[in-house]
Structure 1
Amino acid sequence: MTLLPGTAVPPPPPAALLRVENLSKRFGGLQAVDNVSFELAAGQMLALIGPNGAGKSTTFNLLNGQIAPDQGHIRLANIDLAGLSPREIGRQGVGRTFQTAAVFGSFSVLENIQIALLARDRRLFSFWRKAQGYRTDEAMDLLAQVGMQDSAGRLCGVLAYGDIKRVELAIALAGRPRLLLMDEPAAGMTAPERHALMALVRRLADERDMAILFTEHSLDVVFAHANSIVVLAQGRIIAAGTPGEIRTHEGVRSAYLGSTRV
């Protein structure tokens, strides 16, 4: 690249934390994921979108170790995660939240975080012996990061759904993830709730230098909060780029059944 005199040299793009290379998975006669490759840098948010049956969930399950790929590599920094178990992948710094929030409703908000800290520290936990008192300061700090410290003593079972999603996020953060996988994080939430949650995730990604990969059907959330977008259809990547590039991509419009607004 030739620069004119006095022109500032643009900063180099951030190095990739996650590299997905030629990832493929077949179930019988169905090629669910077909030669998928993309990169994600620390501090960035990448949205993986596509119509139903595009291969998003399978890709997520491959990244998380729920299923093993037929071929390809999943590199977190210099570690190949392909074929490792979910527990082994978690220990390498990969966290995950789910479309349906998973918390213990009969335990307090604080105890839910303490249980997550026990699991991170590989300490045995019994439902007959609650987690009360375990790393309370750290647990409260995690709740403060998601704005739930004032609800620490409340049972999770009585919380509003948006607050439950914040608790689930704190649970994921307890594992100190470098990469956080978020499966439909805004599902079941109102528009203000989902934008507030994703703005919180954006802030945490910046503060923690944490990479975020998320799937989401609410395209207003995708275009408002993602740094980059990968679009799948029938297991293949049909487009990848910035929100502005994806919004005007004709192939993406076609994949979404000719929608004039994506």
Structure 2
Amino acid sequence: MSLLQVQNISKAFGGVKAVQNISFALQAGELLALIGPNGAGKTTTFNLVGGQLAADSGQVLLGGKNISGLAPRAIWRLGVGRTFQIAQTFASLTVVENVQMALLSADRKIFSWWPRAAGHRRSDALALLEQVGMQAQAERPCSELAYGDVKRVELAMALAHDPQLLLMDEPTAGMAPGERVALMQLARRIARQRQMGVLFTEHSMDVVFGQADRVAVLVRGQLLAEGTPQQIRADARVQQAYLGTGLVLEKQK
């Protein structure tokens, strides 16, 4: 059984059919990229999986359980983590305190008094930071970090409740080319280690074709093609859909 199954989901906003009968599956330990021109339905599809939107029809299954219509927090409790296009961290807190806050939320103790919270599962927080290469900067305020490092802290926070599925919304937006590849290589390694599925939207084609196991291409709210990066790169329909968009589908140097 696939970790995630999206079955014929559709969503319209007034007369605009944003998503039309889209289906795909994601296995544990796999990275699946959702790509497409602007207005293709990527964000809508992503938010239908995460619960930010409710589908008009179709369903989303997580480990065989129908999660369609559940609130984002309920879906998070079932083991779905998320990172955002603009990193969501507490700038005034230290790196380790940010991860401790995420652990407090995972343990349903977010309203604990701060003197108790400051010591909450510190060793676990440091272990998560070690996984993302940020343990050495544990005592620095997040406000002092380079943006690429902030994204690593956000990833550690998303891992705090041990998700089985991680949703990454344009994870490398605003990052330098080298940082983009390094972050997704890290996400790929963690996904393999934890057997965690990763669904991500991305505009950087070097990241998509270099790090994704499979790619799903959306055009005008419909699934145009799905396959390995090599299959997608060679697909004539995909090449035609991207003509004039400025996106490069050839292998990056």
Q: TM-score range by the shorter chain?
A: over 0.9
- What is the aligned partner in structure 1 of residue 35 from structure 2? 49
Q: 2:67 aligns with which of 81, 92, 102?
A: 81
Q: CA deviation at 1:127?
A: 8.5
- What is the aligned partner in structure 2 of residue 168 from structure 1? 154
User: What RMSD in Å do the two structures reach over aligned CA positions?
Assistant: 1.4
Code of the aligned partner of 2:21: N
Separation in structure 2 between the aligned mates of residue 124 and residue 244 of structure 1, nearest angstrom:
45
Q: 2:111 aligns with which of 101, 125, 133?
A: 125
Q: Which moved more, 1:121-130 or 1:134-143?
A: 121-130
Q: 1:150 aligns with which of 111, 123, 136?
A: 136
How many residue pairs were aligned?
248
- What is the aligned partner in structure 1 of residue 56 from structure 2? 70
2:56 counterpart of 1:32: no
Q: CA deviation at 1:83?
A: 0.2
Q: CA deviation at 1:67?
A: 1.1
Q: CA deviation at 1:16?
A: 1.1
Change (3 A) 1:32 1:130: farther
Secondary structure of 1:111's counterpart equals helix
Code of the aligned partner of 1:61: N
Q: 2:225 aligns with which of 220, 230, 239?
A: 239
Q: CA deviation at 1:42?
A: 0.2
| TM-score, normalised with respect to structure 1 | 0.92
2:73 counterpart of 1:94: no
2:178 counterpart of 1:192: yes
- What is the aligned partner in structure 2 of residue 6 from structure 1? none
Change (3 A) 1:232 1:139: same
Q: Is the 8 A contact 1:111 1:130 kept in 2?
A: no
CA shift digits 1:150-209 (9 cap, x unpaired) = 011000011000000000000000021100000001111111101111110110011000
Q: CA deviation at 1:126?
A: 6.4
- What is the aligned partner in structure 1 of residue 234 from structure 2? 248
Q: CA deviation at 1:124?
A: 3.0
Q: 1:107 aligns with which of 83, 90, 93?
A: 93
Q: Is the 8 A contact 2:205 2:247 kept in 1?
A: no
Separation in structure 2 between the aligned mates of residue 146 and residue 261 of structure 1, nearest angstrom:
29
**Bigger radius of gyration:** 1
CA shift digits 1:34-93 (9 cap, x unpaired) = 000000000000000000010011111111111111011100112111000001000111
- What is the aligned partner in structure 1 of residue 9 from structure 2? 23
- What is the aligned partner in structure 1 of residue 206 from structure 2? 220
Q: Where does structure 2 lack aligned partners over 5 or more consecutive residues?
A: none
Secondary structure of 2:209's counterpart equals helix
Alignment identity in percent? 57
Q: CA deviation at 1:130?
A: 7.3
Separation in structure 1 between the aligned mates of residue 113 and residue 171 of structure 2, nearest angstrom:
28
Q: Where does structure 1 lack aligned partners over 5 or more consecutive residues?
A: 1-14
Q: 2:188 aligns with which of 202, 221, 228?
A: 202
Separation in structure 2 between the aligned mates of residue 27 and residue 128 of structure 1, nearest angstrom:
43
Q: Is the 8 A contact 2:101 2:110 kept in 1?
A: no
Separation in structure 2 between the aligned mates of residue 212 and residue 146 of structure 1, nearest angstrom:
16
Separation in structure 2 between the aligned mates of residue 68 and residue 260 of structure 1, nearest angstrom:
30
Q: 2:120 aligns with which of 123, 134, 157?
A: 134
